[in-house]
Every structure is written in C-alpha cells, then in structure tokens.
Chains A and B, each alone.
Chain A
Amino acid sequence: MLPSDPLEHWDQRPIAVAEGAKLRLVTAAATARRVEVGMTAAAARAHCAELTILPWDAERIGREVARASAAFLVASPQVTPVRGAPGTWWIGAGGLHGSSLGEGTFARTLAELARAWHPRARVAVADSCVAAQAATWSTRAAGGTLHLPPGGDAEYLARVPIALIPMDGELREALLALGLRTAGAFATLDPLDVERRWGDLGLAAWRLARGIDDRRAALARTDDPRAIVHELATSADSMEPVLFVVRAALDRLVHDLTTDGLAAAEVTITLTLDDATSALPHTGTRSPTVVRIVRPARPVARLAPLFERCRALLDDWPERIHFSNGAPVRAVEVRISEAVPSSAEQRDLLATSWRDPAAVDAALERLRAKLGPGSVVRSVRRDSHAPERAGRWDAVERLAPTRTASVVSEAAEARAPATPAAARLLDRPEEIAVTLDARGTPRALAWRGHRFPLARAEGPERLSGEWWHADPFAREYWRCESANDGRTFLVFRSAEGWRVQGWND
C-alpha cells in the first residue's frame, strides 16, 4: 500500500503486516504507537485504531526482495538476500578495494539504491559478512555507511558486543554469564576449551568472533556461468517459490546459452534442504541436498519447454523431498550440466509453442489487468450467523490449488441444513415494502418496482450478534416464497426496516 502523501514514507504511517493471527512486521510509526511484532490484530488496534494491517504475502515479499536484489546487481554481480531476514542482503564487493571505484563509493552507491526502499538504509563494507553485519549497527553515526579497512575485521569485532555475533542463544547466555561481553573477549579463549564446552557450534561462533566467516554473497557465480545458486529469503515448504526461482534462473541461463549459440542438453537442479542450522555460521557439516537431472528429448534453447520439464519434475517432488528428512528447501541451484551447439531449429522463432499450463495464470492475469485487481475471486466459507458474513470472496493470485480456508464450526454444520443460505446474496441488502397479516407474517413484498404476493412465509428466525464490532446486527429473518415465480426471498426486518438480502431460484 502506497502512502497517500508522496512525501510521507510508508514507515511513517502505522502499518503492520500480519501472518496468520499475529503481526510479523510493523512500521516505525506503528512501533511508536506501541504496536509490536507478535501482537494479534485486535490487540494492535486497541493501541492504534487507525492501524492498517496488510496480510503477509510471501510471494509479493519475495518479488520485492527479488526486485531489490536486481537493483543491487547494478553495483555488484553477487547479491544474496539474507535468509529469514527480508530487507538484508549480502552483496559482494570483491575486487573493489584499491580500484578507482573504491569501497567507500560502493557503499554510498548501495546506500543510495537502498534508500529507494527506506530513507535510513544502512550499508557496511567489510572482509567478512559477520563484521559487515555488526558494522551496520554503527552506521547511524557514520551517515548510513561504514567501511572497515581490509584486514580490519578482527580488530573491529574485538570491541563489538557479543550480541552482534550470530550464535546459539544458549551459548551467548553462557558467555555473558562467564563475563565475556565482547567478541574480542570470546575470541581470546583457547579453541580446545571452546570445543569441549560448546562443540562445533561453539567453534563456529568463535571463528566468527575472530572475523573468520566463509559466508559469501552467492546469487551469481562468475566462475561458473552455466549455474545459478539462489538462497531463498525464507525456507520454502512448497514448490511454488522454488519454481519461481527455477524459472528466473532458466531464463537467465537460456539467455546466456543462446548468446553463446548453445542449447541445453541436461539441466541439474539441486535443492539444499534446511537442517535448522543454516541461520548459524557454517559448522563444517554440509546441509543435505537433493539432486535431480532433466534431459530433454533433444537439446533445447528455449525457456518454455525447459521450464515445463523442470516443473513436471518438481511438481512430482515435494512429497519425496519432505519425506527424505522433513526439511524445507533453503537454496536452489540450477545448472546447465550439459550444453551442445544449438541447431537451426532451435533458433526458429516461428516454432509452435509448447503447451503451457501457466497460460491459465497468464489468462487470469490478463483478466485482472482488464477488470482490475481483485476481479478474479473464489468463494471461501466463514463461520458466522449473519448470512453476508458466512462466506467471503478471496482474490485468486494463482490457479495453483490451495487449501480452502474453511473455519466453519460443528455448530454451523449442525445448523446448516435448517437454515439454507440464499444462493444469490445481494452485495448490500435492499429496502423492500412488506405487507403483513394480523399475526405479523409477511403476505406480500414489493422490491425494485415489482410486487410479489407470497405463497408461504417461514419465520421468524432471529439472528443477532457481533455486538463487540462497530457494526453489530440484530435481524428477524423470513423465507418468503413468491406466488409469482416460486422464488424464495430471504428478507429480514431490523431497526432500519425491511430488507431483502437474497433469494433462491
């Protein structure tokens, strides 16, 4: 959601992003109103009535992260979004030291790019990721950027609080209890002592405290132009984000192949699984991986058929991947493991296209473009006594099957047969005139200029509730069968008078 005032940054407005029932991100303005990550929407609004709460949209966030990553590619070919921390990137600055561009300029360039997203973006340049990340906490005083001299990581880290070194919480707690409050103090311990007390995890953290960090930016590898490795911003437990990455990677690789006059004879996809230690520094053990190879019937230099084969393979994978060790995917490598010179046919722009199920998505996208956002929807049942609240239309972003968010209670199921909802509900109930008999039963109704004598009227059914909302309801419903055409109208009487809400044909 964009701010209405172009001069006002979104961070200056009270906005939160909720995942499920809880808030996952909040803006600075929301924080100032005591809205905190982890709160429920109701709790947050009790502090800040005008809080805008947006749903967590992993796909959209992934897209934005990818867009930002692409923008950073202007400054460096090595851009990796940090997993689990959307908004943080490792960006390679190899070779800039001593060059005319210089690391300081590089940092300022990155900061300028980053300010497109946030006015107080911070950039630090260091030999190691750990030092760079620690240094971003000192950049506020340095105008948003800071670069450490080459070889200066250990000296810099020696003074930083132990809290800035990534490590297991329990280890950090133990170090603090021992009185070791800086990375430098930790670094002075004998590694054998560290290993005896905290094992590999301790040693890995100890190395970080000394500025030894083998984590690097990894999106593009200049040493291997036929492979792309992408670490996902958050570990994926479905194939959707993986396919997104595979498609983008293939696009890039196919482009490079065609530039070189080559076609792909074999594609290798390697998924690195999250073994729950990836947020910590490397411990020397390799994360588990799953490798699959795609060999098209003939060498191909077009994205669509290659991606279609890969998608077919990946669609068949999820269960097997999960059952291998139950871990989600944290990185994807797409490699053209075998390339051959492309044939003339391969270069034929007029060749008929492959059948592409994604075309449906494309079609839906076109509908959205034509009819506006939110025009493609599907119905989801909800648990409420009020007919208009007993269902909702959810926007469809993709056609991919998803589980229906049905939260209908047993009580609702029990009541459902006795209270069939109107098949056609009006967006807003409309005013009607009703003629009653002596016992107060509707005998005729007039709606949109037509009069409907009633053959039968069943009711009343009293429904009321949601008194804690701004718009509680209290209605007396009747199901009125028209003597004209047999339609059954769902009408109600409330404090505002008679309304028709829908009908069954």
Chain B
Amino acid sequence: MNPFLNLLDTVDKTISVCISLCPVNCDKLPHLDVSVNNNIIFSAEINEKKTLKTTVELLEPIHIKIISKNNNAVVLQSIKIDDFEIVPNYIHYSDYVGSDGTAFGPTEYLGVSGQWDLIIDKPFYNWKHDVTGMGWFLTP
C-alpha cells in the first residue's frame, strides 16, 4: 500500500463548476443555453439571478459554452471552478462572438445574441498552475 498512490483511490476525481448569471433588465429576459463539455445544464429564460452547478472529470479539459438567443443582456456574475473564481481576474481567457459575427472578445457582459466560450484545454489544475503564475511545469 503506497501512501501517495493510494490517494488516487480516494481523492474526489471531479471538478465542480458553478456559474451564476443575472439578467440585466427584468423586462427583457434573456434566453440562454448553457453547456459544460457539451452537456446542456440549462436551456430557458432566466428571470432572476440563477446559479447553475455541475461537475466534470478531474483530468478532463473544460469547455463552458453559453448561447444567448434573444438579444437580451445577461451578466456572468461568477464562474467558480473548484472554488477558483474566474470573474473578473481570469475572464480574459473567455471569448464572446455575436450571432452576426461581431467579435466582442473576453467579457462577462453578454449584451446581444451570440456565443460565449471559456475553453480550458487541459486538466483544470494544470491550467490553474499556468494562469496563476506557478512557474515551470515540467513534464516527463
């Protein structure tokens, strides 16, 4: 029995993803499709602040996609991945393109219909190492 490798049997091998969204104007409710790694976790209008939760596998890359459908604005108030807050300090890793092709770039404000993406193209903690300035990341 190895004290460290045994951890692989007991460690929580999931990553929590928690997304909080809020409509900008309660008279103009945004209709959103929210998916994480191609699993749709929400598809409807939101009329108040809503928090969506899901999990992904520890070693899985993460793709959060939000499609805004009816030109009504929504704000991403918080995106926490294993309690690591993306908004606002790491929002620059996101991208937002309007449905007419306008590139809005990184933002937490989705003002018109379009697609917003946050792509973490490697295991989350490897990505976090890079973006939080942990220095060298050696690989075998």
Q: Decide if A and B are genuine partners.
A: no
Interface residues of B (CB under 8 A from A): none
> What is the interface of chain A, defined by CB distance below 8 A to chain B?
none
